A and B are shown apart, each in its own frame.
Chain A
Amino acid sequence: GAVVSQHPSWVICKSGTSVKIECRSLDFQATTMFWYRQFPKQSLMLMATSNEGSKATYEQGVEKDKFLINHASLTLSTLTVTSAHPEDSSFYICSAELAGNNEQFFGPGTRLTVL
């Protein structure tokens, strides 16, 4: 149980385009999902907290207009990287919180490469 999926697993796009990444909790409902970014050989950095039915809460330094987050249902959150640039190339990982006990289960990640 507690499986989280992400789609796509990898994406290559041209500079200036937008990319949408989906995060789904497959066998449980998640009122809260989190989005992280991980650069090579570094730790996970929290970008934002996504709550179902409300606006996401962004961490300091993360541009909310560039990284659009939508949490439309209890099993789906999406991250859209708008007007992507090469410096946005990274490994993006989502997690879903098992309601009430702080346990987070992570998706397999999405490798974004912006040319």
Chain B
Amino acid sequence: GENVEQHPSTLSVQEGDSAVIKCTYSDSASNYFPWYKQELGKGPQLIIDIRSNVGEKKDQRIAVTLNKTAKHFSLHITETQPEDSAVYFCAASRGDTGKLIFGQGTTLQVKP
């Protein structure tokens, strides 16, 4: 069945450094790849997404890259700040069902 693998499970960086989280998906029909940030006790918040017709997308300090051939996509956060500390989830979706398949999550800790 569809599967999304996410790595690493935990990531600790110093404030100002970059953080990279990687995901691999199994369903070649997937065409929508969102990233969510979840703070403790809250629902996930969409931070950036990319569609299969684009290789890279950037929004201020956040960027996402997609390699369709290898079926993997990555989240890049530059100039990290303590408020970036949270759990980040990647997901993949096919256009027909709209169902999101989530990765296992990455706990990011940004040390001041």
Contacts and interface: CB of A to CB of B under 8 A. Distances in A.
A3 to B, nearest CB: 11
A108 B41 CA distance: 8
Contacts of B54: none
B45, B49, B101, B102 interface centre (most CB from chain A within 10 Å): B102
A113 interface: no
Given A6-B43, A104-B34, A109-B41, 17 more contacts: A4-B43, A32-B98, A34-B99, A42-B105, A43-B105, A44-B44, A46-B101, A49-B98, A93-B44, A95-B100, A102-B32, A103-B34, A104-B98, A106-B43, A106-B46, A108-B43, A111-B41
B18 interface: no
Contacts of A6: 43
Contact of B103 (A32, A34, A43, A49): A43
B100 A104 contact: yes
B95 A106 contact: no
Nearest to B4: A43
Interface residues of A, number: 22
13 contacts: A4-B43, A42-B105, A43-B103, A45-B102, A46-B100, A49-B97, A97-B98, A104-B34, A104-B100, A105-B46, A106-B44, A106-B45, A108-B43
Nearest to A32: B98
B89 interface: yes
A4 B46 CA distance: 12
A34 B98 CA distance: 10
B65 interface: no
Contact of A34 (B36, B42, B100): B100
Interface of B: 32, 34, 36, 41-46, 49, 89, 93, 95, 97-105
B99 A108 contact: no
Interface in A1-47: 4, 6, 32, 34, 42-46
Contacts of A109: 41-43
A105 B42 CA distance: 13
The 3 residue pairs across chains A and B that have the minimum distance between CB atoms: A106-B43, A102-B32, A108-B43
